[in-house]
Structure 1
Amino acid sequence: MRRNAAVVGLRSGEQPNGALGANFNGDPSMMTWAQLREAEATWVRGFAAMPEFDEQEPAAHRAIKTLLEAGRRDLRTVLSLKFPYFPRDGHDRIPRPGTPEMDADLRRVDAVLSVVMDQVDILVIGNEPFIECPEDDWTNGAINDFYETIARHVIDYRTRNFPNGGKTVLHMGALNHLDEPGKWVNSGTDRWMRFVRETPEIAGTDIHPHVAAPDGARAYLDYVLPRLGDKRFLVTEFSLVHLWKDHLEDPVSTAYADEYEIPRDTPVWQVIRNALRDPFPKERWYAFLRTSPWFENNKHYLTDQMAEFRATGRLAVATYGIGQDEAMSGADFNAESTPWLLNSVYASATIRPGPDGSAVPNYAWLPEFKALQHS
């Protein structure tokens, strides 16, 4: 596999500079090693939800197992530790330090660290903390107390077991919706950034700019860069998914409707649902997207966004969605759904497999992803 000059030859613990990798979130079944070779990917990222380790050994966990295998295949790796305290799941607060709930999370962390420390290249403490936490705990100090406790625990573990530092670099992650400052930028995010900046063992923060306009990530950079000091940032998820969602109720183009003999008032979401229920031939899916101005006019988003991230001189690694996972591919897709599947480099759920049974790439993203490995 050809290697990106931005990531080859890193010394133990050294940070990359502007790399682009593949993200599978929590479901590595969305990708194959053959796809990563075709895309010339050099980095892979996934997350692991901590409660899963009450029932499963970390070494057998599908995300961790995949990342360890990726390392053996000479790929660089990022693991995000996810602490899901969603109110929708009945959580009314995030654990407080010193409580049995906090102690349980620390035991889970220890179990994971025993498997991944000095194995993965980057460990991100948190996934999307402000989304995965009751809103009441954003500004009362509780979210910061929790994640700072986890971070110090991880730092202490690394210091005890790898006094020379080892290869695993630590980041805090990830901040969301920084383009909505009235709600999502608050005393909790300010303290988050201060902890990142003032803790020597933390290399930087992660951000997840899922935005509704091509320039939407600028608000994220405007917030984190002045608060990072001399540190770097990760972007382990990013996309124009909210722009795609804004167009789900648009009618398809006249050209597409006439070519495929469907009513001209057929909404975009209906076409996506039809493809999920009975995947399209490649040519039809491509025609649907190419005749949709909201998509076709943004087909260079990946290149343009990476250029903006890299121009800061502070990007460590960004990772982009590699495939369409089970959560994206339900046949009940509707006008209220979030169209994550339109971001994916490979379209396994909406395009029929190729002659060899492999997933077919989205026409827009794969060429740009590959080119960005060498730019």
Structure 2
Amino acid sequence: MLKVLTIGAALLGAATAGAAHAQGALGASYNDQFGELDYRDLEKSGAKWVRMSLPLPQLDRGVGSNGVLNRILEASERGYSTVLSLKFGYVGTIPPQVGSDAYLKDVARLDAVLGLVTGKVDVLVIGNDPFLEVPEKNRDDSFNAYYEAVARQVIAHRAKTCATNCRTRLYMGALVRLEMPAERNKVVERWMSFVKATPEIEGVAIQTHVAEVEDSKAYLKYILPRMRPEQKFVVTDFSLVKTWTENMQGAIPKAFAEKYGAPRTAQNWQIVKASLETPFSKVQWDEFLSQSPWLESRKHFLANQMQVFRDTGRLAVATIAFTQGAAPADKLSPGAAAWQLNSVVVRRSAKRNPDGSAAFNYAWIDDFKALQK
């Protein structure tokens, strides 16, 4: 049985040392799609923060050749502030018992990562979105015990290798679906209790994929009273994807159909699918979005959402999915989540700029730039 590591309050200074810590920043999230990062996009948008997620089982193919690790460290060396979410790989299954062979294998992977990133990344999120990855039936005391144990492992490694004024801050995450009362259960309560009781943890991470900005307030109402006053929160991703998805089976704008010869009976998801198969001109893509009232009326959601987060005075950094993902068009169906509409950079639905760089989403880019100030 692996000996449980206990880190005392005497190490609190290591977690809170250094005056420079993010306060209300907005950055670009790439998840594990490291090949999507184009520094031209970041420079044009003014983004100063980059987030990626690392599936730890990938390390079995070699730590030094891992694309996520190489790219997040490269971004750090280029002067970007960085967030790395650790994804332990238990999608659709249950994490192993603490002390088991499978757990020790996870610890070995974890130590390999920590040896490269501790002191180099700014925010390390322990967990990606385990409350989505692990089925509800498998989220019990052993689920909590697993994540608490790996958190202690991270804390111990940082104390050993980066104890004084360490650049790397630790967060537990990410909590999801907190707008639903049923999701605020005893497993989540224990998660928050651990965050509050562990001095080396800076706070908790959340992901707010909701229908309206107002829905995100339920997350803040829940997490903030359950943390120490000095603790902050990180938002690893946020969107109004529920609203985008709800409208995918709606009729396309009449003026758009007339101008571009689309069938009057076409639905929005079919237009998005067509754009992924053969990219539209930037003008055509912008017209489709701007003529869609359900999106045009929410084109300032980025600014509105950031105001909700910043008004708490306790946001460290929030990152939004920066580019359209690499999912093929044939995966898009009437009921599929419409993530393609949420990205700041339109790498697939619109043709590239003359210089080869990707186009920006007309609805989000101006507010994204303004929020960097």
* Runs (5+) with no aligned partner, structure 2: 1-15
Shift of 1:165: 4.7
Q: Which runs of 4+ in 1 moved over 3 A?
A: 10-14
Measured in 2, the distance between the counterparts of 1:107 and 1:31 equals 28
State the partner residue of 1:358. Answer: 357
Is 1:26 aligned with 2:26?
no
| Conserved 8 A contact 1:83-1:132 | no
Shift of 1:17: 0.6
**How many pairs were matched up?**
357
State the partner residue of 2:117. Answer: 116
State the partner residue of 2:56. Answer: 50
Q: Report the AA paired with residue 70 of structure 2.
A: K
Q: Report the AA paired with residue 33 of structure 2.
A: D
Q: Report the AA paired with residue 40 of structure 2.
A: A
State the partner residue of 1:229. Answer: 228
Q: Report the AA paired with residue 211 of structure 1.
A: V
Measured in 1, the distance between the counterparts of 2:364 and 2:68 equals 24
TM-score by length of 2: 0.93
| Conserved 8 A contact 2:55-2:89 | yes
Quick one: which of 75, 80, 87 aligns to 2:80?
Answer: 75
| Conserved 8 A contact 1:22-1:322 | yes
Shift of 1:84: 2.1
* Alignment map for 1:54-203 (pairs within 5 Å): 54-57=60-63, 59-87=64-92, 91=93, 93-138=94-139, 140-182=140-182, 184-203=183-202
Shift of 1:151: 0.3
| Conserved 8 A contact 1:94-1:146 | yes
Measured in 2, the distance between the counterparts of 1:31 and 1:298 equals 26
What per-residue deviation string (whole Å, max 9, x for no partner) do you get for residues 17-37 of structure 1? 100111011102222011100
What per-residue deviation string (whole Å, max 9, x for no partner) do you get for residues 182-222 of structure 1? 2x211010000111011000000000000112312111111
SS in structure 2 at match of 1:209 = strand
Q: Report the AA paired with residue 290 of structure 2.
A: R
Q: Which moved more, 1:28-37 or 1:244-253?
A: 28-37
Q: Report the AA paired with residue 227 of structure 2.
A: L
| Conserved 8 A contact 2:280-2:350 | yes
* Alignment map for 1:301-340 (pairs within 5 Å): 301-327=301-327, 329-340=328-339
Measured in 1, the distance between the counterparts of 2:238 and 2:77 equals 27
SS in structure 2 at match of 1:326 = coil
Q: Report the AA paired with residue 175 of structure 2.
A: L
What per-residue deviation string (whole Å, max 9, x for no partner) do you get for residues 114-156 of structure 1? 0000010111100001111132232x21211010000000111
Distance change >3 Å, CA 13–CA 84, structure 1 → 2 = farther
What per-residue deviation string (whole Å, max 9, x for no partner) do you get for residues 150-171 of structure 1? 0000111111122325211000
Q: Report the AA paired with residue 172 of structure 1.
A: M
Q: Report the AA paired with residue 248 of structure 1.
A: M
Shift of 1:258: 1.3
TM-score by length of 1: 0.93
Q: Report the AA paired with residue 103 of structure 2.
A: M
* Alignment map for 1:282-297 (pairs within 5 Å): 282-297=282-297
What per-residue deviation string (whole Å, max 9, x for no partner) do you get for residues 48-77 of structure 1? 0011111121x4321111111111111100
| Conserved 8 A contact 2:17-2:165 | no
Q: Percent identity?
A: 41
Shift of 1:331: 3.4
| Conserved 8 A contact 1:94-1:134 | no
Shift of 1:241: 0.8
Shift of 1:14: 4.1
